[in-house]
Amino acid sequence: MGKIKKSEEEWRKTLDPESFKVTREKGTEKPFTGLYWNCWESGVYRCVCCGKALFDSSAKFDAGCGWPSFSSPVSEESIETQTDTSWMMTRTEVICSDCGAHLGHVFEDGPELTGLRYCINSAALKLEKKMEE
């Protein structure tokens, strides 16, 4: 599947203001305010812009930072990373590989299994809950 490209106006029509600010303008929601920072339901977290599967709830952990944190993405192909030098620091930005949405950042202070903490904005995600069996 090719990259999803839409105009700013098209994105504004499909996203709420907070999701637009975070995903299209590289904003950050305030800690401890997002829908998913303290959500522990089972399922797959998808990109709010394009629906791509990004993170599984089994990789979610409580980092105490106020944002949803994951130890790994669903697959290496689901995300891309790039260097972010905003705010007078160097970080690794995480973006959706299909639509280029800003998701958050990844840090090397995660759990032992991967050592990574994908710190992701709730406004960039939509949880597809796992069906109860």
Domain range annotation of the chain:
8-129
3-state SS class at 92: strand
pTM: 0.93
Q: By C-alpha distance, which of 102, 100, 120, 123 is closest to 110? A: 120
Provide the pLDDT for residue 99. 96
CATH number of 8-129: 2.170.150.20
Full pLDDT tens readout for the chain, 133 residues: 458 889 999 999 999 999 999 999 999 999 999 999 999 999 999 999 999 999 999 999 999 999 999 999 999 999 999 999 988 889 999 999 999 999 999 999 999 889 999 999 999 999 999 876 5
Q: Which residues are catalytic?
A: 119
User: What's the confidence (pLDDT) of residue 133?
Assistant: 55
